[in-house]
Structure 1
Amino acid sequence: MQRTLKTVKYLRDAGFEPVVLTVEDGAFPSRDASLAADVPEGVEVIRTKAPDPFTLYARLTGADSVPTGAVSQGGRLSRAALWVRANLFLPDARVGWVPFAKLAGRRRVGKAFRAHMPFAAVVTSGPPHSVHLVGRRLQRMGVPWVADFRDPWTAINFYDDLPMSAPARRLDAWLERRVLRGADAVTTVSPTWARHLENRGGIRRGSVEVVHNGVDEADLGDAEGVAVREDAFVLTHVGSLYATRDPAALWEAVAALHAEGRVPSLVIRLVGKTDAAVREAAEATGVPVEVEPYVDHAEAVREQARAALLLLSIERFSADAGMITGKLYEYLASGRPTLALGPVGGDAAALLEETGGGTLLARDDADGVAAALVRHYDAWAAGTPVAGAPWEAVAPYTRRAQTRRLADVIRALPDRPVR
């Protein structure tokens, strides 16, 4: 959502007028109404119906929100829902939106052609990857099509948790190849995922363009004047912390240091949706844990600025080397250092090294984590907290700069005959 929202915000500056096609009232894990302020005045937003099984699932299970990724496997109903999602809703559970979006898209594209103001491109951003089916249909009308992958398709982080039959997997892989080969341009968020998509589609090496996620400079004003907390050394995670992202080596290191009396003023702060098991693991360290289940985006930026050290945890999955979460760019822009656990040698590690924004360690490197914590803690205790990335290293990764990269991709698209 952030990637698409910020693209819409800065696309005019890059030379294009955005028109948004989206759902009327979709089912989402969480909502932040404050972000609507980022939509520029006068931008046309077309909303359509979107039948969504996640809404029905939430009602049947009594859940207070819809799930993210794969549906929970906690009970018989959940397992049945997961099987239905994996085998009958392809490529994903949002596919019910496709016919409504195609109809609305055809009408809007036709109107543009009749007014002799054709669209320069249709950009579909997934997941949900079913949106690409809409792009393919509008391409046939003569609009060049950019398929944007914020995450992989058949290698998304929860894909192996889906109980898909062999025929369903083959169909899903066929749809993926069809999109990758059919789009006029393909973009994604990291170099490793660009190579992955080229391999999955059997398309030319170097043909997938990298348009990074980034940070919006305008959001940084929310942290202006916010200083690192002095009453405690605060290790903060901002955002969703799922069970799959549980940084077990961190809790092991913290517990050992706490038992030695090495970090007496350490506080762990978890801001955002945190899995109960992760929270319990953090509390078991014996270190004070402060939990904020939800804050709006402006407050999330301030939370990052107050921290002496920011935590990032990347879950293990087949394509994890290409995972650079959007949150990491905001971490970098905060000027605070990041301690990350994930795939050593992956794209997130390379970005941290390039910008000087922190360190990424192996998920099981408890000793390395302990050493990093001690180094940052001692610097904080001496009144000289370790700095994060300097702004000049972050500047190429602003949302404005990356939207210009997308605009360059659009300008390079081939002309398509009107049908």
Structure 2
Amino acid sequence: MEKVLIITYYWPPAGGPGVQRWLKFVKYLRDFEIEPVVYVPENPTYPLIDKSLVSEIPKNIQVVQQKILEPYSVASIFSKKDTETISSGIIAKEGKQNFLQKMMLYIRGNFFIPDARKFWIKPSVNFLKNLLEEQQIKTIITTGPPHSLHLIGLQLKNELNIKWYADFRDPWTQIGYHDKLRLSKSSQQKHINLEKEVLNSADHIITTSFTTKKEFQNKTSKPVSVITNGFDEEPAENNIQLDKKFTFSHIGSLLSGRNPENLWNCLGELVLEEKSFADDFILNLVGAVSEEVLDSIKAAGLKDHLSLHKYVPHAEAIALQRRSQVLLLIEIDSQETKGIIPGKVFEYLAAKRPILALGPAEWDICQFLEETLAGTFFKYSEEEKLKYHILKLYRKFKEERLEIDSRNIENYHRKALTRNLANLLKQK
């Protein structure tokens, strides 16, 4: 088998969607005659931990570790909460930032370019040059963010005769929070220059969304391919049954910018207008939820219908999705976010429950929903249509026929997506 080195920061026991992508690729690559070798930090600082994912690492996979200097572990002396916020790329609203957050954002943006994992670049290059030569590995993959990992690939590409694939799970300079990093003009230009150098030096660029592909094609002549995230065959509870209540479930963080007040208002009006709806409705939120979002939900009259859950292990989240009557997919209403395809949408597809999506116009999600018939999309401004749709879903729930007839979801199985990746890797 041909060996391929995968350079990633997120790896079990890290939790969250970032770790799932390459954990699943590694799981299936051997089925396509490719032997993955994984390079990860020995002492990372992960904002989320999910030890259950450790058991999903395939047996006998070579995982190579190297120590990393983590500024976030030092910063946590001052404030664990603020450190995790910045580490995970979650930026508080401008008016909500305290002095420490503002100071840390300025330092993060201007002194750690492209990000705080920059100190892993030099020791990794020195270490991996020997590893690549010793094991005669001719192909490497870097996946970011953190985008400093692409700079490891850039230096290895410049020093060795290797093939390099740069995988972007999120954009770089176009990502929504980039302009909130309090960058100086010179720092912003450094980011632009580094992004350009990576895009024009890698042999192939991989993105997870169609919008990001279009943006990158305007910046490079190198080939750009979309390989989305996906779903896997997850162990399910025996005899899993749908919730008896009319449950709306959202899996993942809901922070200040991702606050669909129109949805809360629609639900609040229906609670007031229909007693049976009020008796049946439950809003499940699983993950971090900001105080601003909670205040909006309570202001809409939904306090007694709210069920909050902190981060839960992946298997538990899958079971909750399959039990839910309706699954919520919510994105910030901004042109900067129309290319974001949350990883959970693919697990939603596998759950085969109706998806209700709210986000920006021309959101990439619309293409998936049209292709799979798995749900319905609404813009933030479509409050009347949204309310009517929720009521229609509720009527079907009461008649015990709230189902969907989804199709083409097999295209997004992790093994099918790994086949697409393997075909790219085998190109001459």
Tell me the TM-score normalised to structure 1 length: 0.91
1:320 aligns with 2:337: yes
AA aligned to 1:128 is P
Tell me which of the two structures has the higher relative contact order, counting C-alpha pairs closer than 8 angstroms and 6 or more residues apart. 1
Partner of 1:261: 274
Does residue 1:336 correspond to 2:353, yes or no? yes
Q: Is the 8 A contact 1:338 1:388 kept in 2?
A: no
Query: In the alignment, which residue of structure 2 is the partner of 1:290?
Result: 307
Shift of 1:8: 1.1
**Paired residue for 1:299, among 300, 313, 316?**
316
Separation in structure 1 between the aligned mates of residue 64 and residue 115 of structure 2, nearest angstrom: 22
Map of 1:46-195 to 2, 5 A cutoff?
46-63=64-81, 66-67=84-85, 68-72=88-92, 74-112=97-135, 118-139=136-157, 140-195=159-214
Deviation at 1:343, TM superposition (A): 2.0
C-alpha distance in structure 2 between counterparts of 1:359 and 1:339, whole Å: 5
1:186/1:359 CA distance change after superposition, 3 Å: same
- In structure 1, the residue matched to 2:229 is 213
Whole-Å separation in 2 of the counterparts to 1:25 and 1:368:
49
Structure 2 residue matching 1:19: 3-state secondary structure? strand
Letter in 2 for 1:397: Y
Structure 1 residues 2 and 399, CA, compared in 2 at 3 Å: closer, same or farther? same
TM-score (norm 2): 0.90
1:225 maps to 2:239: yes
Q: CA deviation at 1:270?
A: 0.5
Match of 1:416 in 2: none
Runs of at least 4 residues off by over 4 Å: 70-73
RMSD of aligned residue pairs (Cα, Å): 1.7
Paired residues of 2:91 and 2:177 also in contact (CA < 8 A): no
* Aligned counterpart for 2:38 among listed residues 17, 20, 29: 20
Give distance in 2, aligned partners of 1:96 and 1:151. Answer: 21
- Are the counterparts in 1 of residues 335 and 360 from structure 2 also a CA contact under 8 Å? no
Which residue is 1:351 aligned to? 368
State the alpha-carbon separation in 2 of the partners of residues 212 and 120 from structure 1.
Answer: 25
Give the percent of matched residue pairs that are identical in Structure 1 and Structure 2.
33
Q: Deviations over 1:246-292 (max 9, x none)?
A: 12211111111112126221110011222222223223333310111
| Alpha carbons 2:91, 2:180 under 8 Å: kept | no
Please tell me whether residue 5 in structure 1 is matched to residue 19 in structure 2: no
Distance 1:279 1:14, change over 3 A: farther
- Residue in structure 1 matched with residue 14 of structure 2 by the alignment: none
Contact preservation (8 Å) 1:193, 1:319: no
Instruction: Report the Cα offset of residue 64 of structure 1.
Output: 8.4
CA distance in 2, matches of 1:71, 1:49: 27
Which amino acid is 2:427 matched to? Answer: A
Q: Which runs of 5+ in 1 are unaligned?
A: 113-117, 414-419
Instruction: Confirm whether residue 239 of structure 1 aligns to residue 252 of structure 2.
Output: yes
Q: Is this contact kept in 1: 2:121–2:148, CA < 8 A?
A: yes
- Per-residue deviation, 1:121: 1.3
Task: Give deviations 1:199-231, integer Å, cap 9, x for gaps.
Answer: 1x2325xx20111110012x1x3255322111x
Shift of 1:346: 2.3
